[in-house]
Amino acid sequence: MNPLLLFWASPVWLHRAAGLLVLAGLGLLLAAGLLWMAQREAFSLKVVEVQAPATSLLHVQDADVREALERGLAGSVLATPMAPIRDALNDHPWIRDVTLRRVWPNRFLIQIQEHEPVAAWRDGRLLNRQGELFVADQAWSQAEAETLYGCHLVELAGPEGTHPRVLARAAQAQRLVELYGLGLQSLALSDQYAWQAQLSDGTELALGHDELPTPWEARLSAFGEVLQRVSSERQSQTGVAPFSRVDLRYANGFAFLPARASQAAPVVRSPLPNCLHRLLQGQQHAA
């Protein structure tokens, strides 16, 4: 028998078909209503509120937000997709994270978190407090840190992908050496995964591998105690640190190269403390 005749002869199928048609009609009506509402003047964009959850914005300007809106705005607030605006803002080198939200009936709420540099990576990039690398003008950022925060960006280096580990170790080392009135000038992890550091007084340290029998913290602390005892008299007489280079790869002592009395004072990047204290403060607040 013809299937079409069976369909017309079946009240059940006719009832189902009628229901589907009614649903389709309601769906089209609802879509048309939403489209009509989205095009009304009441939903045209009137206000854009920009918030910085943690700190005030230093590098993202009003013009940057306007440009992103112009690239993504499509009619009213309801009709505008969020993704193009979000992508445009994420293209900004100083924006770490951005959240967009519609606020009824005609507002956008944009929350922006900027990168906050706490260290400089040796290849020219910067490290934020979350341990993420980002690209920005390093020299300009260095000058900004000195002006705004009274600190300089410590120089870090290591094999590809080790930047979170190097930053964490730098923060640990800074917390330790500042007990002896010193700061960390630079820290590097070699391709052989051996640690090397330079202190704020110019002293170079060879810390070696993590697999050494004595933990690096114990070796560095022992050196700090010795340095604290001898540095005051040495520096008052010569104006330079007592050691030029120190090898801390020994379990119960260290080898050193003394600084000559005629040696010029070491050149450091900045007389200011490094910016790792900003990272340490953030960790204390989080704890």
| Domain of residue 105, CATH code | 3.10.20.310
Same-domain check for residues 162 and 200: yes
Q: Roughly how many angstroms between the first and final C-alpha of the chain, as a whole number?
A: 78
Same-domain check for residues 211 and 274: yes
Select, from the ranges 101-105, 188-192, 257-261, 271-275, the one with the highest average predicted confidence (pLDDT): 188-192
Same-domain check for residues 89 and 191: no
How many domains does the chain contain in total?
2
Contact criterion met (CB below 8 Å) for 171 and 203? no
State how far the Cα of 221 lies from the Cα of 22, in Å rounded to an integer.
Answer: 79
**Mean pLDDT lowest among 11-15, 198-202, 283-287:** 283-287
Chosen domain end from 114, 136, 157: 114
**pLDDT per residue over 96-152, tens digit each?**
999 998 887 788 889 999 999 999 999 999 999 999 999 999 999 999 999 988 999
Residue 219 has pLDDT above 90, yes or no: yes
Q: Look at residue 28 and tell me if it is in a domain.
A: no
Select, from the ranges 22-26, 56-60, 77-81, the one with the highest average predicted confidence (pLDDT): 56-60
Average confidence (pLDDT) over 9-17: 63
Chosen domain end from 95, 114, 133: 114
Other Cβ atoms less than 10 A from the Cβ of 221: the count is 14
% of the chain beyond a pLDDT of 90: 49
State how far the Cα of 125 lies from the Cα of 137, in Å rounded to an integer.
Answer: 8
Same-domain check for residues 241 and 172: yes
Q: Look at residue 238 and tell me if it is in a domain.
A: yes
**pLDDT per residue over 41-77, tens digit each?**
545 767 788 888 666 788 999 899 989 988 877 767 7
Please give the pLDDT value at position 81. 83
Chosen domain end from 91, 114, 137: 114
Same-domain check for residues 229 and 262: yes
Looking at the DSSP assignment, which residues form a beta bridge with residue 117?
128
Contact criterion met (CB below 8 Å) for 149 and 139? no
Same-domain check for residues 46 and 134: no
Q: Look at residue 54 and tell me if it is in a domain.
A: yes
Q: Look at residue 64 and tell me if it is in a domain.
A: yes
CA angle 223, 229, 231 (to 5 degrees): 85
Please give the pLDDT value at position 287. 40
Domain span at residue 236 reads: 117-286
Q: Look at residue 183 and tell me if it is in a domain.
A: yes
% of the chain beyond a pLDDT of 70: 74
Please give the pLDDT value at position 214. 93
Contact criterion met (CB below 8 Å) for 176 and 224? yes
Residue 267 has pLDDT above 50, yes or no: no
State how far the Cα of 183 lies from the Cα of 222, in Å rounded to an integer.
Answer: 16
Same-domain check for residues 121 and 262: yes
> Which run of H or E residues covers position 197?
strand 195-199
Q: Look at residue 159 and tell me if it is in a domain.
A: yes
